[in-house]
Amino acid sequence: MFKNKVLLFHLLTAVTVIIWGTTFVSTKVLLQHGLGPIEIMFYRFILAYVCLFLFSHKRIWANNWKDEGLLILSGLTGGTFYFIAENTALGITQASNVALLVCTTPIFTALLARWIYKEPLRKNMLFGSLIALIGVGLVVFSGSIILQINPLGDFLSIVAALMWAFYCLVLKPLGGRYSTAFITRKVFFYSIVSLIIYFCFDPLIVKMDILLHPTVCLNLLFLGVVASMLCFIIWNAAVKVLGPSQTANYIYVQPISTLVLSSIILSEVITTTSLVGALCIIGGVYLAEKH
């Protein structure tokens, strides 16, 4: 039974990451329709939180302040900081670049797990990391020289990868003490709270003409209900069953769907250099995480 459960979560995690690969394109579409990076994240999390609260609302607080602090940290790293970095990057660089650079997440996860939880580094970790970093360099130079994209977007993509690695590791001690639905709801809650604080300094302007546009509505529903609520629940459950490093390894699947969709929907050019960089990142991350 346990083996079947593990196999099921391997499959669900792969599907989740493929769905997340399409969110880069969906977010890019919303940016092109006039919504800002912070606005997209706020509406996305509001939708996800409301949907979760409908069937998971009995427990309000964690068992102790330490755990509540970890939940706050998970909301900031996996929600606010990650999506601010990612969505801002999508506004100034290609969706395919962002998706590829976020693939460095498994490397950061393994290194941070070594530092925080004293997990041993495997022999192929350094070699795989080197190959992946070469790929990162190829993608960055491809964007700044060939495609004339601001390198800041590539840097922010790497920051997003680092934030997601922290998020996976913060989840580890919480998984055995709380339900997946509760943890996921609290992640969205603290992300929303942090954004409300942000809006106190930079007020949110509700653009109803944009929000009521069919394309915008459909993309927000997809991001909020499917990519956020459903996929976060699956991912958080997978971290509990498979562990943070093994779950993070599935990130390397993500660029496949992003590259294809960004080329079809956004007409983004896929250069030879970016393809070589993509192969290096995917191959390097896979090698680094291979048992």
Q: Which residues are CB-neighbours of 136 under 8 A, at least 6 positions away?
A: 101, 104, 154, 158, 277, 281
Which residues constitute the domain of residue 234? 2-289
pLDDT digits (tens, 9 = 90+) for 242-266: 888 888 878 877 776 776 777 777 7
Q: Is 62 helix (H, G, I), strand (E, B) or coil?
A: coil
- The model's pTM: 0.84
**Domains in the chain: how many in total?**
1
pLDDT digits (tens, 9 = 90+) for 192-206: 999 999 999 999 999
In this prediction, residue 146 carries a pLDDT of 44
In this prediction, residue 142 carries a pLDDT of 60
Q: Which residues are CB-neighbours of 65 under 8 A, at least 6 positions away?
A: none
Contact 17, 251 (CB under 8 A): yes
At which residue do the structure tokens 């927000």 appear? Answer: 220
Quote the CA–CA distance of 150 and 18 in Å, as a whole number. Answer: 26
Which of 31-68 are b and which e, b meaning 16 or more Cβ less than 10 Å from the residue's Cβ? beeebbbbbbbbbbbbbbbebbeeebeeeeebeeeebe
pLDDT digits (tens, 9 = 90+) for 108-153: 888 898 888 887 777 777 787 778 878 777 766 665 444 445 688 8
pLDDT digits (tens, 9 = 90+) for 147-187: 445 688 889 999 999 999 999 999 989 988 999 999 999 99
Quote the CA–CA distance of 236 and 165 in Å, as a whole number. Answer: 13
pLDDT digits (tens, 9 = 90+) for 189-238: 999 999 999 999 999 999 999 999 999 999 999 999 999 999 999 999 99
Mean per-residue pLDDT, 78-103? 85
Can you read off the two tokens belonging to residue 93?
Answer: 């660089």
In this prediction, residue 135 carries a pLDDT of 79
Quote the CA–CA distance of 141 and 228 in Å, as a whole number. Answer: 31
